[in-house]
A = this chain, B = another copy of it.
Amino acid sequence: MIDKLINDIKAKNAPIVVGLDPMLKFVPDYIKQEKFNNFGVGTKGAAEAILEYNKGIVDAVYDLVPAVKPQIAMYEQFGVDGLIAFKKTVDYCKEKGLTVIGDIKRGDIGSTSEAYAVGHLSKVEIGGELFEGFNEDFATVNPYLGYDGIKPFVDVCRKEKKGIFILVKTSNPSSGEFQDRLIDGKPLYEHVAEKVNEWGADFVGQSGYSYVGAVVGATYPEMGAALRKVMPRAYILVPGYGAQGGKGKDLKPFFNSDGLGAIVNSSRGIIAAYQQEKYASFGERGYADAARAAVIDMREDIASAL
């Protein structure tokens, strides 16, 4: 799956992942009204609205980008109805040939992480048969519990040829509170990065990149440069571009000299582009076209920076 992702990044010349993090305030009123009329004002109506909104964006950008990253929290807030929309979003994106990175940031003790890994990246055994839960292609994983919490994901990925991105240095302002603290002269995130490199060392695709990747925020380009060297074979998923403040010129340190090694996420900067002044002329009925225009601009911003 890492090889498919890289092939698609090359073919589309776009190391870009579109974050499908649909807050209800991003969804155009005409979509909300239609779904509220049909399914009621409630979690079902909201879930149907975000699904419809997602489909419009996916239809508008799937030929331009290799991957999408639905953030499960944005669905989970609507309870079961939201998670139905999450699953339908995953399936719809896969039908369009997109690689789906489930941004789930799960992580627990061994047997529990195994359940998450099975539910998100593999199939669960019931009565001797196999059934799928959410079935994304990649998942993000939290390292705080140590290798016990990571290994079940790696084992499942090995079987399914899927992958994970482990949180190393996150994009948010307070990420340094623990991640930057020095241990033996090096920040915690660098220790985590060394482990990411070790855990993925013997699980590498034909591309030369590992199925075990990392998350490093675009908002910390200097750390990105250092981490790029610590984990040469890890693909880096880079959130924080756009709305969180990361810019194209900040991205170069995350890439290797082969022009590969990183994939940059933008969420609201793309999916809610029509709400920005720059793309306001598209109007709310042009929200999907505005997203497409934002992807094209982002592609150029990154290409000019590399």
A residues near B (Cβ < 8 Å) are: 21, 23-24, 32, 36, 41-43, 45-46, 71, 73-74, 76-80, 82-84, 87, 105-113, 115-116, 118-120, 124-127, 129, 131-134, 142-149, 167, 170-179, 181-184, 188, 191-192, 195, 239, 244
CA distance A83 to B74 in the complex (A): 16
Question: Assuming the A-B contacts A21-B112, A76-B119, A145-B170, are A82 and B133 also in contact, with contact meaning beta carbons closer than 8 angstroms in the complex?
Answer: yes
Question: Assuming the A-B contacts A145-B174, A148-B175, A179-B144, are A126 and B45 also in contact, with contact meaning beta carbons closer than 8 angstroms in the complex?
Answer: yes
CA distance A106 to B75 in the complex (A): 14
The answer to whether B181 touches A115, judged by C-beta atoms less than 8 angstroms apart, is no
The answer to whether B131 touches A42, judged by C-beta atoms less than 8 angstroms apart, is yes
Q: Which residue of B lies closest to A147 (CB)?
A: B174
Q: Which of B115, B127, B170 contacts A109 (CB 8 A)?
A: B170
Chain B proximity of A161: nearest CB distance (Å): 20
Q: Which of B80, B126, B146 contacts A42 (CB 8 A)?
A: B126
Residues from chain B with a CB closer than 8 A to the CB of A134 are 76, 79
